[in-house]
């Protein structure tokens, strides 16, 4: 295995459309939660009376790298204010969570695992030398409590035990103390073994169970990658085995899984929770870093460029709790929810539709993807995800100018004061690769960079193809982008106050009511591709950076009984009910209402 290390937010400088996406996030909900949302603004973590468990640590996990990637002094000051308050409340024995000592035994220690992860993120970004000692004391106290059986892993901590290894590995690299290895063994012994849950994944029960909970599963995929070294175990790529089973019975076209809120089968009208999207992205980032296996980076791109933007409003002031692959409306269902265990408004856009965990947790998606653009191992650097940014270290800089994934041309400009090896990860779907105008082999491109300036221009083609999905449905994919029929919609604003939490523009609730047809099938295999530079909103439905025109016909698709705004799992009839029309498809991530998996009327592909 080739292990890669992440660069820090001081070394990665986002550019182009990526920077604009991060700016939109900072101007929207992520950058303002501490002003408007009581669970962050008045949290017990900073001495208030609101939630004192996972929400502030979740939010900081994304807010901190966002602040430092944008080098925003106001946001960095806010992050420091929260960190200072958390650190000042740490008990002498190391305990850090807002919980009275006599209640610790019943406190779900998932919050300890998560706050240590967020503190490590803060150290990576800020270099604050207080942090290693704080994490040491927290985890040493946690170890003593687990070892003495003062507490044990239960509820969420039991199912997320491996999250502790993000900070535990950090400690071991610094201190090399044996208790850290002992704690690793205790965590695994007390934690849930997901291989025991496989049978429950094969036929979703639609019952609320932690072993089928989509966010737990998204986190779990990285468990072996982050824990095996400290446990002294051989790496066996268990993530791939488990992912294959999950994909077979619950897979989505965007490399994720249905889960609303538990695994929900192969129906494209079931939901996928936003927390699961960002956690699965993070798992893939850690898996690629730990193994160097390109499949994880490729799957990361599909998730990050499709599922992530699709479930966030264009201004990123609102989000869905769950997105649907075939999503023809975002309206409250009046009879019952069309989901396993979520409510009837979970697919609407808002401040906290269904539960507030995603409100706090979605912030990590874009910043951590940005931090995965370049990685390193000793004297070798890899361009792991081709994002427009600058990598700037003490001895060299690499500037990548690109609009990837919207087109496939990359210009690397390197200025170096030392010799090093540079690898560009070439996607498996690339065709007709050219490097500096010359045809090249379709494999990872490796270069020996010498002192001075070097320019590398790399371009390739990606061919559209119809990706087979369950139930004789197909999705059009080109490179890392999936394409959908965008459905025009009317947006209805809902402003109200519930349980002391105000929803008002721009962080109110929205319902999207369809205003254009969606009941399509593919009538021809021919495609016409059009590209433009990404605009002020990179994932805009009205001005997408790339589109594909295809010939389509309407069919009698029908609605899922008893709903008035949810399409059927499969069409009622595949017979055409209209003339052939040329329809312009846009990237899945650009379309808030969309049809993605549809039949072929012209024969199987």
Q: CA-based angle 412:406:260, to the nearest 5?
A: 120
**Helices 29-36, 73-88: inter-axial angle, 10-degree rounding:** 50
Mean pLDDT of 10-20: 98
Long-range contacts of 378-382 (CB under 8 A, 24+ apart): 379/419, 379/420, 379/421, 380/420, 380/421, 380/422, 380/423, 381/420, 381/421, 381/422, 381/423, 382/4, 382/422, 382/423, 382/424, 382/425
Average pLDDT of the chain, as a whole number: 97
Kindly calculate the radius of gyration of the chain based on its CA atoms and give it in whole angstroms. Answer: 24
* Per-residue pLDDT tens over the stretch 70-128: 999 999 999 999 999 999 999 999 999 999 999 999 999 999 999 999 999 999 999 99
* Per-residue pLDDT tens over the stretch 18-31: 999 999 999 999 99
Name the residue among 155, 160, 45 with its Cα closest to residue 99: 45
Q: What is the pLDDT of residue 442?
A: 82
Q: What is the pLDDT of residue 334?
A: 82
Q: Is the pLDDT of residue 604 over 60?
A: no
Q: Is the pLDDT of residue 534 over 50?
A: yes
Q: What is the pLDDT of residue 431?
A: 96
Name the residue among 249, 385, 382 with its Cα closest to residue 308: 385
Q: CA separation (Å) from 297 to 232, 301, 303, 378, 383?
A: 25, 6, 10, 20, 11
Name the residue among 2, 66, 81 with its Cα closest to residue 35: 81
Q: How confident is the model at residue 195 (pLDDT cuts 50, 70, 90)?
A: very high
Mean pLDDT of 153-166: 98
* Per-residue pLDDT tens over the stretch 228-284: 999 999 999 999 999 999 999 999 999 999 999 999 999 999 999 999 999 999 999
Q: What is the pLDDT of residue 202?
A: 95
Name the residue among 114, 139, 124, 135 with its Cα closest to residue 57: 114
Q: What is the pLDDT of residue 560?
A: 94
The residue extents of the domains of the chain are 375-461, 465-595
Q: What is the pLDDT of residue 444?
A: 84
* Per-residue pLDDT tens over the stretch 379-403: 999 999 999 999 999 999 999 999 9
Please list, in sequence order, all residues whose beta carbon lies within 8 angstroms of the beta carbon of residue 402, skipping any fewer than 6 positions away: 16, 386, 387, 388, 409, 410, 411
Q: CA-based angle 568:526:528, to the nearest 5?
A: 100
Mean pLDDT of 193-203: 96
Mean pLDDT of 316-338: 94
Q: How confident is the model at residue 605 (pLDDT cuts 50, 70, 90)?
A: very low
Between 1.10.12, 1.10.3470, 2.40.50, 2.60.420, what CATH number should domain 375-461 receive? 2.60.420
Please list, in sequence order, all residues whose beta carbon lies within 8 angstroms of the beta carbon of residue 580, skipping any fewer than 6 positions away: 523, 524, 551, 552, 553
Mean pLDDT of 186-212: 95
- Is the overall model pTM greater than 0.95, yes or no? yes
Q: How far is it, in rounded angstroms, from Cα 426 to Cα 299?
A: 13
Q: CA separation (Å) from 351 to 39, 343, 493, 508?
A: 12, 15, 12, 6
DSSP 8-state symbol, 221: T
Mean pLDDT of 369-377: 98
């Amino acid at each position: 295995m080739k292990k890669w290390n992440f660069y820090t937010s001081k070394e990665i400088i986002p550019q182009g459309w990526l920077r604009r996406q991060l700016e939109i996030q900072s101007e929207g909900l992520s950058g303002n939660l501490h002003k408007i949302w009581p669970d962050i603004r008045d949290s017990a973590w900073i001495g208030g009376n609101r939630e004192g468990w996972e929400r502030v640590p979740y939010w900081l996990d994304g807010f901190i790298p966002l602040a430092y990637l944008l080098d925003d002094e106001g946001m960095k000051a806010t992050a420091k204010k929260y960190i200072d308050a958390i650190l000042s409340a740490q008990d002498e024995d190391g305990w850090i969570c807002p919980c009275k000592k006599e209640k610790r035994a019943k406190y779900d220690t998932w919050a300890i695992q998560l706050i240590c992860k967020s503190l490590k993120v803060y150290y990576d970004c800020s270099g604050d030398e207080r942090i290693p000692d704080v994490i040491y004391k927290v985890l040493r106290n946690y170890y003593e409590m687990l070892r003495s059986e003062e507490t044990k892993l239960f509820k969420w901590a039991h199912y997320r035990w491996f999250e502790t290894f993000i900070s535990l590995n950090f400690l071991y690299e610094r201190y090399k103390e044996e208790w850290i290895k002992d704690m690793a063994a205790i965590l695994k012994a007390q934690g849930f073994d997901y291989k025991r849950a496989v049978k429950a994944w094969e036929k979703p029960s639609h019952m609320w169970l932690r072993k089928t909970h989509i966010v737990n599963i998204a986190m779990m995929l990285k468990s072996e990658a982050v824990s095996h070294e400290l446990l002294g175990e051989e790496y066996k790529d268990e993530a791939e085995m488990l992912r294959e089973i999950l994909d077979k019975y619950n897979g989505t076209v965007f490399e994720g899984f249905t889960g609303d809120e538990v695994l929900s089968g192969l129906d494209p009208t079931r939901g996928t929770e936003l927390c699961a999207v960002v956690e699965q992205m993070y798992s893939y980032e850690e898996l690629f870093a730990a193994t160097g296996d390109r499949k994880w980076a490729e799957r990361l791109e599909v998730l990050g460029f499709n599922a992530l933007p699709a479930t966030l409003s264009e201004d990123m002031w609102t989000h869905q709790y769950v997105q649907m692959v075939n999503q023809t409306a975002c309206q409250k269902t009046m009879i019952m929810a069309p989901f396993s265990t979520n409510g009837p408004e979970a697919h609407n856009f808002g401040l906290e539709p269904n539960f507030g965990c995603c409100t706090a947790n979605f912030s990590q998606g874009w910043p951590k993807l940005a931090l995965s653009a370049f990685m390193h191992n000793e004297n070798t650097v890899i361009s792991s995800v081709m994002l427009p940014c600058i990598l700037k270290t003490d001895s060299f800089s690499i500037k990548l100018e690109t609009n990837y994934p919207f087109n496939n041309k990359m210009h690397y400009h390197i200025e170096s004061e030392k010799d090093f090896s540079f690898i560009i990860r070439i996607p498996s779907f690339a065709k007709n690769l050219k490097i500096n105008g010359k045809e090249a082999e379709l494999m990872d491109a490796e270069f020996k960079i010498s002192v001075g300036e070097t320019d590398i221009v790399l371009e390739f083609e990606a061919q559209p193809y119809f990706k087979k999905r369950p139930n004789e449905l197909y999705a059009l994919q080109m490179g890392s982008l999936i394409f959908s029929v965008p459905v025009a919609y009317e947006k209805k604003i809902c402003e109200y106050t519930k349980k002391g939490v105000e929803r008002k523009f721009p962080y109110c609730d929205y319902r999207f009511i369809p205003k254009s047809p969606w009941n399509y099938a593919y009538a021809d295999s021919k495609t016409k591709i059009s590209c433009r530079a990404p605009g002020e909103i990179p994932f805009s439905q009205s001005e997408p950076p790339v589109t594909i025109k295809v010939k389509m016909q309407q069919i009698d698709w029908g609605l899922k009984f008893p709903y008035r705004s949810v399409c059927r799992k499969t069409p009622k009839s595949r017979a055409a009910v209209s003339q052939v029309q040329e329809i312009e498809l846009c990237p899945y991530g650009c379309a808030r209402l969309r049809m993605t998996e549809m039949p072929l009327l012209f024969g199987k592909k």
